[in-house]
Amino acid sequence: MNAKGRYTGFAITLHWLLAVAILTAFGVGLYMTGLGMSPTKLKLINWHKWAGVSILVLSAVRLLWRLTHRPPALPASIERAMPGWQKLAYHGTHWLMYVLFFAVPLIGWAYSSAHGYPIVWFGVLPLPDFVPVDKALAEAIKPWHQISAFALIGLVGLHVAAALKHHFIDRDGLLLRMRPGR
């Protein structure tokens, strides 16, 4: 894989930062929901919110980068070898992930606001309420945050499985385009 076929260092950094942030926020979210109300749970809720806002910011930067910096084209040999359904899945999965990069944290922010729990990013920057306080609205929003988070993790799993398939089964070098380092 030549340098021309690789993503830029900045795109690679954004990809892996977002991946770590999403997996961490999802893990913390799963763990904290099983806890009873305690200082530990309150701390994890705040960490989860901070991660969500960070994911939102990283997603905006990543989308702006993607819109202004065309990603490298698939190598012609890989393009020819992929059936139409795989190309559709490749593009569809990426765009659905981008939608969910924004939807999951925005829905979480709306839930927190509707519940009356402010978000103070890293304990320093208070964010405005996304929606007015309304407990019924909060209860209506809560499952959508969970459903969209599980949908995002499902798409991430599909994305990882496809990358590993290309690396270990097809052995076509596609995964190397996003690998950190040279």
Confidence of residue 85 (pLDDT cuts 50, 70, 90): very high
Question: CB–CB of 41/35 below 8 Å?
Answer: yes
Which residues is 125 bridged to in the sheet? Answer: 121
Question: CB–CB of 24/48 below 8 Å?
Answer: no
- Structural domain count of the chain: 1
pLDDT of 152-179, one tens digit each? 999 999 999 999 999 999 999 899 999 9
Question: CB–CB of 155/93 below 8 Å?
Answer: yes
Confidence of residue 181 (pLDDT cuts 50, 70, 90): confident
CATH of the domain at 131: 1.20.950.20
pLDDT of residue 62: 97
pLDDT of residue 5: 84
pLDDT of 112-163, one tens digit each? 999 999 999 999 999 999 999 999 999 999 999 999 999 999 999 999 999 9
d(CA 5, CA 1): 6
Match 């990543």 to its residue by tokens.
62
First to last CA, the chain: 10
- Give the CA distances from residue 128 to residues 81, 110, 111, 136, in Å, rounded to whole numbers and listed in that order: 49, 10, 13, 20
Write down the pTM of the prediction.
Answer: 0.94
pLDDT of residue 3: 57
DSSP for residue 120: E
The amino acid present at 30, given as its one-letter code, is L
Which residues is 126 bridged to in the sheet? Answer: 120
- Give me the domain span that covers residue 19: 3-178
